[in-house]
Chains A and B, each alone.
Chain A
């Protein structure tokens, strides 16, 4: 349970850490959008180089990135294999009824790179942003919607709390599992139904404790006079600075270059 690296924040003081979280969020979204607009292999390779350069800036070890890629290897393999076999075109080699085509290989490589870039890009966001930064960025970006009656502040608070309790609940699950295993609970063997049943002794205490924590937290918040997000100010107000403008400019230039590279390749 502890090996989940996606969504984990790594403390640091890199250029990317110092950006305004809103800028980080928007640039990540823009990066994801352009990944889907690219349609040549050259562009994909360049997009990968781009994200790797960003990782180099943050000084996150490649080992860590590889570890977070591990769980999606089956997805990459699956899509590659499908692409390889089912796209018609110039046959490179074939056996029995299956033919591998040049176009198939091309698309397989592109899809894999796209998935890797997607994951690397979104991981970079969570590696460099604390959950609090992310929610305040979202809150600030969605602010205009509060005019339409959407409770933006409350939603942001809910998200902050939810993110805050993920590690707590994981730890709790570990403890409850240890306790029930000590009482002879058999969690690892049996067929699907037996295994689902074996989860009851884990899930019930987990839910009970989640509700207990929610109660306690609500009480603590009320004691400190929390009454909704209206009119609340922040300790660290978000502010766009020169560094953010530079980052956006650099990103835009890179994107334009990548689009031009696509033209060249055709």
Chain B
């Protein structure tokens, strides 16, 4: 069992200076093992700051972050050890590639864990397998890969550390629709196979609705909603008022209701939407 708990966590940049800026304040929540959580919010809503506190890259200015019940900042000498439990993939992770071959680059994390050569090798294979990186690419230079391949290699570098919790900050940014679908499918497969917690920061409500089972909505540095996908998208109107996107399907249904069609609007998947629209028309004709 591995849980990640935040207790009244806040972060202020440049604390004490005239230009101090509070990015996150008063966030308390628990990421349960095995959940697939989508984090959404505007640019500047504190998403990136929040996830950098999850693995101790940033130290919260108020509150604490607990992994398996231990405050990660309790003992600074153990911080690195605790950090290994939370694998963080930052935005544009391909910019972190530096080794001569893809294989060596994926092995960088496991090597830092101090594993044996055989163990490192098997982890590299495993991670490359999850990310669908063909064997022949492993001995190429990471700088010769295409954009999408680079990104997958970089994510493999974090997965090879076998984190208990995998956090991804906009892993699909700057990719074409097919590249996006590929990356998200890979993450979904990993989640289903390993049953480990996945936290996905995304701009796209459609992606979150499709892949996550829980949604966390950040607004102006505070927690607005944190609940199952269905519950959060029941607040579609409020979400829209704060200027956030809602899933395309929910948007269509809201418009239909405004135009007088009696459809259910707490829906975020195309199949269920088709059903409620059909039912509504049956109701009219019947």
Contact = CB atoms under 8 A, between A and B. Distances in A.
Interface of A: 61, 172, 175-176, 178-186, 200-201, 204-205, 208-209
A183 B96 contact: yes
Determine the main DSSP class of A at the interface with B. helix
Nearest to A63: B18
B113 interface: yes
A183 B95 contact: no
A205 B113 contact: no
Contacts of B98: 200-201, 204-205, 208
A84 B23 CA distance: 49
Given A205-B95, A205-B96, A181 B113 contact: no
A206 to B, nearest CB: 9
Contacts of A205: 95-98
14 contacts: A175-B90, A176-B96, A179-B90, A179-B93, A181-B57, A182-B55, A182-B57, A182-B87, A184-B80, A185-B112, A186-B80, A186-B112, A200-B98, A201-B108
A184 B95 CA distance: 16
A87 B136 CA distance: 72
Interface in B172-231: none
B95 A182 contact: no
A182 B158 CA distance: 8
Nearest to A175: B90
B95 A176 contact: yes
User: Sorted from nearest, which 8 A-B pairs have the closest CB atoms?
Assistant: A184-B112, A204-B98, A179-B96, A183-B109, A182-B88, A201-B98, A179-B90, A178-B57
Interface residues of B, number: 25
A180 B113 CA distance: 13
A183 B80 contact: no
A215 to B, nearest CB: 13
Nearest to A172: B95
Counting chain A CB atoms within 10 Å of each CB, which of B95, B96, B108, B161 scores highest? Answer: B96
A184 B161 contact: yes
A208 B113 CA distance: 26
Nearest to A182: B88
Contacts of A180: 96
B118 to A, nearest CB: 19
Interface string B95-126: 11110000000001100110000000000000
B117 to A, nearest CB: 17
B42 interface: no
A133 B88 CA distance: 41
Given A182-B57, A205-B97, 19 more contacts: A61-B18, A178-B52, A178-B57, A178-B90, A179-B90, A179-B93, A181-B57, A181-B83, A182-B83, A182-B89, A182-B90, A182-B158, A183-B112, A183-B157, A184-B80, A184-B113, A201-B96, A208-B143, A209-B95
Nearest to A185: B112
B84 interface: yes
A205 B90 CA distance: 14
Contacts of A61: 18
A200 B161 CA distance: 20
A101 B22 CA distance: 52
Contacts of B93: 179
A66 to B, nearest CB: 13
A184 B161 CA distance: 9
A151 to B, nearest CB: 33
A185 B109 CA distance: 8
A175 B88 CA distance: 12
B143 A183 contact: no
B115 to A, nearest CB: 11
A183 B57 contact: no
A185 B84 CA distance: 11
Contacts of A182: 55, 57, 83, 87-90, 158
Interface in B242-271: none
Contacts of B18: 61
Counting chain B CB atoms within 10 Å of each CB, which of A175, A184, A205, A208 scores highest? Answer: A184
Interface in B116-158: 143, 157-158
B95 A179 contact: yes
Nearest to B57: A178
Nearest to B86: A182
Nearest to A181: B57
